[in-house]
């Protein structure tokens, strides 16, 4: 084989998604601990920072006026309204990470994941789920960070989002008693995707 015909391994654009309560944050944190070669996108949001969250680590928090400026400037790869607040993915952050040779991981809601797939067909969409609706309800109730009305709203939304699994490339169960199992499955997915032939190019 002529060396010039050997496919060049492209960087990956990975979206980890799923309903509230499935453990997206926990999975992403464990992936960060295990793989320094992945870049984890910090989403920008207009919602208020929770006491347990760190600016620039969990989210970039900003006022609505600043978010509107980013929209007007075309600085967001995608954005959406989630539970009444805006969330968006900074385009420059993704472009810089890919240019540095790193795979990019985004933690997004189901709506944002669908938008990324529409804009970037090469994106790899991974849907996190739990064993049952009862388990999801238990996890949401265990947060103790929201009112009962908000918990009911999130559970109702989660039921709808669970119906959208067919839109994703992979579905990974996340047992909160064995987080490393879910992470190991995702790592296996990334290995396979890096060796895929004829992957569409990522264009930002």
Lowest mean pLDDT among 55-69, 132-146, 148-162, 182-196: 132-146
pLDDT for 144 equals 63
pTM: 0.85
- Rounded to 5°, angle at Cα 137 from 134 and 138: 90
Q: What is the rounded distance in angstroms from the CA atom of residue 66 to the CA atom of residue 45?
A: 10
SS3 of 20, please?
Answer: coil
Query: How much of the chain, in percent, has pLDDT values that exceed 90?
Result: 57
Q: What is the dihedral of CA 198, 199, 203, 204, to 10 degrees?
A: -170
Q: Is 179 exposed, middle or buried (0-12, 13-18, 19+ CB in 10 A)?
A: middle
Task: Report the distance separating Cα 49 and Cα 61, nearest Å.
Answer: 7
| pLDDT tens track for 39-97 | 999 999 999 998 888 999 889 999 999 999 999 999 999 998 877 889 999 999 999 99
**Spatial separation of the C-alpha atoms in residues 12 and 38, rounded to whole Å:** 9
Domain ranges of the chain: 11-194
The model's pLDDT over 83-133, given as tens digits with 9 standing for 90+, comes to: 788 999 999 999 999 999 999 999 998 989 999 999 999 999 999 998 877
**Strand-pair partners of 60:** 44
11-194 in CATH: which number?
3.40.50.300
Cite the active site residues: 50, 143, 154
């Amino acid at each position: 084989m002529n060396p010039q015909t050997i496919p060049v391994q492209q960087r990956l654009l990975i979206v980890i998604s799923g309903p509230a309560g499935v453990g997206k944050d926990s999975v992403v944190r464990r992936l960060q601990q295990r793989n320094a070669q992945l870049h984890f996108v910090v989403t920008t949001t207009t919602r208020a920072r929770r006491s347990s969250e760190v600016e620039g680590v969990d989210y970039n928090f900003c006022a609505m006026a600043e978010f509107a400026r980013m929209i007007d400037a075309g600085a967001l790869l995608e954005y959406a309204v989630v539970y009444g607040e805006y969330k968006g993915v900074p385009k420059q952050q993704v472009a810089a990470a890919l240019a540095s040779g790193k795979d990019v991981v985004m933690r997004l809601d189901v709506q944002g994941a669908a938008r990324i797939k529409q804009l970037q067909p090469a994106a790899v969409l991974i849907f996190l789920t739990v064993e049952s609706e009862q388990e999801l309800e238990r996890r949401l109730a265990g947060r103790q960070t929201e009112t009962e009305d908000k918990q009911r709203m999130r559970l109702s939304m989660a039921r709808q989002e669970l119906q959208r699994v067919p839109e994703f490339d992979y579905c990974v169960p996340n047992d909160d008693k064995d987080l490393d199992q879910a992470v190991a499955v995702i790592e296996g997915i990334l290995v396979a995707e890096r060796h895929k032939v004829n992957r569409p190019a990522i264009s930002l």
